[in-house]
Amino acid sequence: MTALAADKKTEYREGVVLAVPVEESTKIYAGALVCVNANGYLVAGADTAGLIFMGVAREAVDNSAGADGAATCLIRRRGLVKMLFATAITQANVGDNVFLVDDQTVDVVANVTNAIFCGIIAEYIDSTHAWVDIEPAIRQADVATHIADESAAHAAAAISIADAGSLITGTTVETALAEIMTGIKTAQYVIRPSMITLEDGTALTKFTSADEATVGWAQIGNKELAIRWNNHATPGKIACQFVMPQDVNDAAAVVAHFMGAIVKAGADEADSPVLTVEAYFSEVGAAAAADTNCGGESGEFLTNADDKWQEKTLSIAHGDVPASPSVLTLIINPKDGQLPADDFAMLVPWLEVTRTCLEA
């Protein structure tokens, strides 16, 4: 076919009334709500999967003894139709979608099985009757209908995803969202300290063994920079501060991690200290002088022949974790009396927290 090169008289019809071929062995009553089946033939309306609502029969047609299409039925495809409801409705149902129960009865979605859409309640009459606008159902392409889609054909659980990058295991929007949100809400991530000083805020300087109570920075082994304590009955304390992000889950514990090693050049290791950790949360509205220590002690750092790094933790109970914004200060030192012979080194500590989804 080619494009027009001259005027053409195009035939058209209003489409309000249409003759539709009737399914074999089928009787249609005048005034019945009618549908077409998968083969495109007219049948009585019903709550049956696969049917598409077509309108209201204007005449009675008996094709009980006929083949498919042996008879046709005039149907109305526009306007407001007074419909009978199977269960009680109220004025509040105006605007709700309506679905077939049988060829003379309709209901809202909660009371049907296959959700054969047949219109929208335009005007409430009484608890069992309403004027229903059938045009949205006839058009079938109505955007609001497809968005509502009570049949769940367009629900997140029914829509597949391509996932070209093979980044998730879910195959539908619903399972993919569940996987993503589970990852967001349960994934644990690290917070590094924003500053490290001596307990009183004095800058942490280079380690020297001249003052046994002093703690400072030192190169350990192959130039690994660490915080080093000299052996002493009451080792000095350091302060580390962590800014807690807005998406920290305050319903989950915060875990402090410490990577340390017992170091003593030219001598056998003898000490097995734990870290004493004071933990103070500063939060909006809390008195600065009323900080409560929610810390404790880390696991024990055991002696070993090769000065190997060991990781120990301290869990801060979720009940002690305030809502953001907050700042956590840790005061740390090898426990008094547990470092009489050896030196102790610790790399920069970190926090492990669980995230939550922000709602605002």
For residue 149, report the phi and psi dihedrals to the nearest 5 degrees.
Answer: 40, 60
Q: How many other C-beta atoms can be found within 10 angstroms of the C-beta atom of residue 116?
A: 24
- The residue with greater pLDDT, 59 or 221, is 59
Q: What mean pLDDT comes out for the span 310-339?
A: 93
Taking the C-alpha atoms of residue 238 and residue 277, their distance in angstroms, rounded to an integer, is 10
Assess whether pLDDT exceeds 70 at residue 289: no
Helix (H) / strand (E) containing 136: helix 135-139
**Model confidence pLDDT, tens digit, residues 216-266:** 999 987 788 999 999 899 999 999 999 998 888 888 899 999 999 998 755
In the chain, the percentage of residues whose pLDDT exceeds 70 is 89
Q: What is the mean pLDDT of the chain?
A: 88
Q: Which residue has the tokens 């644990």?
A: 188
Assess whether pLDDT exceeds 50 at residue 142: no
Highest mean pLDDT range out of 7-16, 98-107, 319-328? 98-107
pLDDT at 90: 97
For residue 148, report the phi and psi dihedrals to the nearest 5 degrees.
Answer: -65, -55
144: confidence class by pLDDT, cuts 50, 70, 90: very low
Whole-model pTM?
0.56
**Both structure tokens of 16:** 């309000």
Q: How many other C-beta atoms can be found within 10 angstroms of the C-beta atom of residue 213?
A: 11
Taking the C-alpha atoms of residue 31 and residue 45, their distance in angstroms, rounded to an integer, is 11
**Model confidence pLDDT, tens digit, residues 114-134:** 999 999 999 999 999 999 999
38: confidence class by pLDDT, cuts 50, 70, 90: very high
- Dihedral sign computed on CA atoms, order 144, 150, 153, 157: positive
Assess whether pLDDT exceeds 80 at residue 288: no
Strand order in the sheet with 72-76: 17-21, 72-76, 52-57, 33-36, 42-44
In the chain, the percentage of residues whose pLDDT exceeds 90 is 65
Assess whether pLDDT exceeds 60 at residue 286: yes
Assess whether pLDDT exceeds 90 at residue 212: no
pLDDT at 154: 63
136 within 8 A of 119, measured Cβ to Cβ: yes
pLDDT at 211: 62
149: confidence class by pLDDT, cuts 50, 70, 90: low
Taking the C-alpha atoms of residue 59 and residue 145, their distance in angstroms, rounded to an integer, is 29
Q: What mean pLDDT comes out for the span 56-63?
A: 97
pLDDT at 167: 80
Taking the C-alpha atoms of residue 262 and residue 179, their distance in angstroms, rounded to an integer, is 42
